[in-house]
């Protein structure tokens, strides 16, 4: 008789598991709380479905905090492997100017999902909807459907319940206690890839809410990232700041505030900038000359003016410092439910190198429900795909031998 694998949570991880688990050998069922699969995968597609990133393996793996736990799984199924895989099911991809990988223009996220679901169906995997996992009963899983609870015994269980952002997609993160009851350490969720709180001067935010600081370089706690920052009513968000989420969260927890420095003109070295400012200083309309000579836009100009005294703004030494090391204090993060991803969930210390719970053999945990961090840019989905494929290959071997 075939062994039974129960996959709990039908999100991004379950997509690869459903397509790739060996159904000649295993009887596979996905239990999903929603009435459809992979709602968050579809939400991720709202602004363009960024499936993975095209950068080198060496750079790629270092995007994760921590990265060691993912290394074997990523090397086993890299960004290139995933791209080949998605191409093989009829979804063509292209690499954007930022190096991010997307479905070819015109292919909608729903079409990508449809192609994957077709493969899951062809693999004879059962998908049960509106089955909410409610915890453990001895060695069985408890599910609730239409107000009634029932128990399921499995040979192998794969949990992929996601994090806690965008709970409307079904990933509510309300299962931490079920694991704690088994002595498994599970941490509360925190927002990542989220907005960060800054108290802006009233004058500045009135004029600049929604504006974007383009091509700036931001540093926090020794890490620097180049990108865009969107100015929001209560702070900042965007691709320039998201990768610094771990550093910002660390400072916030240690000092109740995080300090960031923005280089508003990273393309110009400090000395060169000082020289340019000296010549601008001789011109009549200083602000206008700054815009034309230094290619500084109105948002940057407003930012500088609102955070300096008149004397400081007109002093080229202090202005140079201000442009190259613009200082801001972050006092908090946005809400977990609004974040793109979360950290927290099952502690990495609780799993083996092949994602098996040390205290609950034959029970595996993968995806965003594990406590690790990744920036936007396709890294979140790739980590889910790599972990899922690694597990598929481990289970194909038919042993729980570490690879
Ligand atoms: C707005 C937004 C944009 C994003 N954009 C990108 C992007 O462009 N690129 C990228 O790489 N990543 C992106 N992400 C992140 C990415 O979508 C997630 O990291 C990824 O989907 C996580 O996969 P997962 O399988 O771990 O969890 P999920 O995909 O969240 O799946 C978990 C599943 O478990 C189910 N579930 C939860 N609890 C229960 C329960 N008790 N019983 C039964 N089922 C349950 C849920 O309904 C859900 O279907 C984005 C996320 C958001 C919110």
pLDDT at 359: 97
Cα 196 versus chain centre, distance: 15
pLDDT at 125: 98
pLDDT at 45: 84
* CB-count exposure of residue 287 (10 Å: 0-12, 13-18, 19+): middle
Ligand 1 contact, 20 CB (< 6 A): no
Ligand 1 contact, 133 CB (< 6 A): yes
pLDDT at 282: 67
C-beta separation of 133 from 33 below 8 A: yes
For atom 9 of ligand 1, which residue has the closest CA? 378
Ligand 1 contact, 103 CB (< 6 A): no
Ligand 1 contact, 9 CB (< 6 A): yes
- pLDDT tens figures, 277-300: 888 866 668 888 888 888 899 999
CA of 356 to the centre of ligand 1 (A): 20
116, 171, 192, best to mutate for ligand 1 pocket (most atoms within 8 Å of CB): 171
Ligand 1 contact, 189 CB (< 6 A): no
Helix axes 316-324, 298-306, angle to 10 degrees: 110
C-beta separation of 11 from 40 below 8 A: yes
Stretch 334-343: mean pLDDT, rounded? 96
pLDDT at 402: 43
C-beta separation of 164 from 171 below 8 A: yes
65 pLDDT above the threshold of 80: yes
H/E element, 332: strand 332-333
Lowest average pLDDT, out of 45-54, 57-66, 119-128, 246-255, goes to: 45-54
Ligand 1 contact, 132 CB (< 6 A): yes
pLDDT above 70 covers what percent of the chain?
A: 98
pTM comes to 0.94
322 pLDDT above the threshold of 70: yes
- pLDDT tens figures, 200-243: 999 999 999 999 999 999 999 999 999 999 999 999 999 999 99
For atom 48 of ligand 1, which residue has the closest CA? 11
Ligand 1 contact, 378 CB (< 6 A): yes
Stretch 348-369: mean pLDDT, rounded? 98
Residues 165 and 96: their CA atoms lie apart, in Å, by: 26
Sign for the CA dihedral angle at 373, 375, 40, 169 comes to positive
The full set of domains in the chain, from first to last, is: 3-191+340-396 (3.50.50.60), 196-333 (no CATH)
* Full strand arrangement of the beta sheet holding 132-137: 132-137, 140-145, 148-152
> Would you tell me how many other CB atoms lie within 10 Å of the CB of residue 73?
24
387 pLDDT above the threshold of 50: yes
Ligand 1 contact, 33 CB (< 6 A): yes
> Would you tell me how many other CB atoms lie within 10 Å of the CB of residue 375?
24
């Amino acid at each position: 008789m075939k062994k039974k694998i129960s996959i709990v949570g039908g999100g991004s991880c379950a997509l690869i598991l459903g397509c790739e688990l060996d159904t000649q050998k295993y009887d596979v069922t996905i239990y999903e709380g929603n009435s459809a699969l992979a709602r968050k995968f579809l939400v991720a597609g709202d602004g363009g479905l960024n499936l993975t990133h095209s950068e080198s393996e060496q750079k790629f793996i270092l995007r994760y905090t921590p990265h060691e736990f993912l290394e074997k799984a990523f090397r086993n199924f890299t960004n290139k492997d995933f791209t080949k895989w998605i191409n093989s099911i009829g979804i063509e991809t292209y690499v954007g100017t930022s190096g991010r990988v997307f479905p070819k223009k015109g292919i909608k996220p729903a079409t990508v999902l449809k192609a994957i679901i077709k493969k899951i169906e062809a693999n004879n995997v059962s998908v049960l909807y509106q089955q909410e996992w409610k915890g453990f009963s001895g060695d069985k899983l408890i599910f609730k459907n239409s107000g009634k609870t029932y128990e399921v015994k499995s040979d192998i269980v794969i949990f992929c319940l996601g994090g806690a952002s965008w709970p409307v997609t079904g990933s509510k993160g309300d299962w931490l206690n079920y694991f704690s009851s088994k002595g498994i350490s599970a941490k509360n969720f925190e927002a990542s890839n989220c907005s960060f709180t800054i108290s802006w001067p009233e004058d500045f935010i009135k004029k600049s809410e929604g504006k974007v600081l383009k091509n700036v370089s931001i540093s926090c706690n020794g890490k620097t990232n180049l990108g865009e920052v969107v100015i929001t009513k209560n702070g900042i968000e965007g691709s320039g700041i998201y990768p610094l989420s771990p550093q910002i969260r660390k400072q916030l927890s240690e000092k109740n505030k995080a300090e960031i420095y923005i280089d508003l003109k990273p393309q110009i070295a400090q000395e060169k900038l000082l020289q340019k400012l000296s010549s601008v200083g001789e011109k009549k309309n200083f602000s206008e000359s700054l815009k034309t000579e230094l290619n500084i836009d109105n948002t940057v100009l407003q930012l500088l003016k609102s955070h300096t005294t008149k004397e400081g703004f007109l002093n080229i030494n202090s202005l140079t410092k201000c442009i190259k090391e613009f200082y801001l204090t972050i006092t908090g993060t946005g809400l977990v439910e609004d974040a793109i991803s979360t950290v927290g969930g099952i502690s990495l210390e609780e799993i083996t190198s092949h994602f098996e719970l040390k205290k609950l053999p034959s029970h595996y945990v993968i995806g965003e429900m594990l406590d690790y961090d990744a920036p936007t840019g396709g890294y979140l989905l790739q980590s889910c795909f790599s972990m899922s494929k690694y597990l598929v290959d481990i289970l194909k071997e038919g042993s729980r031998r570490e690879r």
